[in-house]
Amino acid sequence: MTALKAPTRRVVTALALAAGAALTMSACSAGQITQTSTQVPAINGSNVDAGSIALRNVHVIYPNSEEYSIEPGGTAQLGFTIVNLDPYIGDELTGISTDFAQSVTGAELEIPPQSSVIAGASETTADLIEGAEELPDPDSTGETPFPTPAAIETVELVGLSEGVRPGLTIPVTFSFAEAGDITVSIPIDAGPELPRDESELSPIVGEAH
């Protein structure tokens, strides 16, 4: 396989990272920042590479509308970005499976060479991808192919089991025609707010110490 030229790889990688960041915003939860000298990116989901396929920010999106629920039997959106870094060979997502849902809908997707697919994206992500079309070609000679803007899809986990709870992780398998099966442990979003358990020992907010 011919190696990607540096300008193309940088553009594809930048597009994937930008899309992942916007996808995180759509999930309505912030990443953690440690109080150390090293900070981790505010990305909720799991990342994995398999050959020319890169899975980024894979996670179960905390429900943000009445049509979705993470209660047993409910339906939730799966968020992720798939990037195909191969400059010549496309791939196909033939299905997604997990023991924690009865079925997964919308999981048959084409990923052309040097393109990406985003699931669970918000309008912010759509605007970001449209803006990517206006970026100049990094190679003025035309020898380096410019990556195709990402396609935005909706993938849903239907009939959730009792094991799908905020803050936990579940194994999910992505099946590709070329890359094969990729199993990754993905987190369930904790949501915008976590419940606070209070007792007689809980400090009073605003009390001077």
pLDDT band at 38 (very low <50, low <70, confident <90, very high): very low
Per the CB < 8 A criterion, the answer to whether 9 and 145 are in contact is: no
pLDDT tens, residue by residue, 76-88: 999 999 999 999 9
Per the CB < 8 A criterion, the answer to whether 146 and 132 are in contact is: no
Query: Does residue 204 fall inside a structural domain?
Result: no
Number of domains in the chain: 1
Six-digit token string for 8: 């193309």
* Extended strands (E) in 29-155: 46-50, 53-60, 75-84, 91-97, 101-105, 109-111, 115-119, 151-153
CA distance linking residue 65 with residue 161, whole number of Å:
19
Report the predicted TM-score, pTM, of the whole model to 2 decimal places.
0.67
Q: Is the pLDDT of residue 70 over 70?
A: yes
Cα 11 from chain centroid? Answer: 18
Six-digit token string for 107: 């999981």
Q: Is the pLDDT of residue 27 over 90?
A: no
Query: Does residue 37 fall inside a structural domain?
Result: no
Six-digit token string for 198: 């209070």
Query: Does residue 141 fall inside a structural domain?
Result: yes
Structural domain of residue 182, as residue ranges? Answer: 6-28+43-187
pLDDT band at 65 (very low <50, low <70, confident <90, very high): confident
- Model pLDDT, residue 207: 55
Query: Does residue 36 fall inside a structural domain?
Result: no
Query: Does residue 180 fall inside a structural domain?
Result: yes
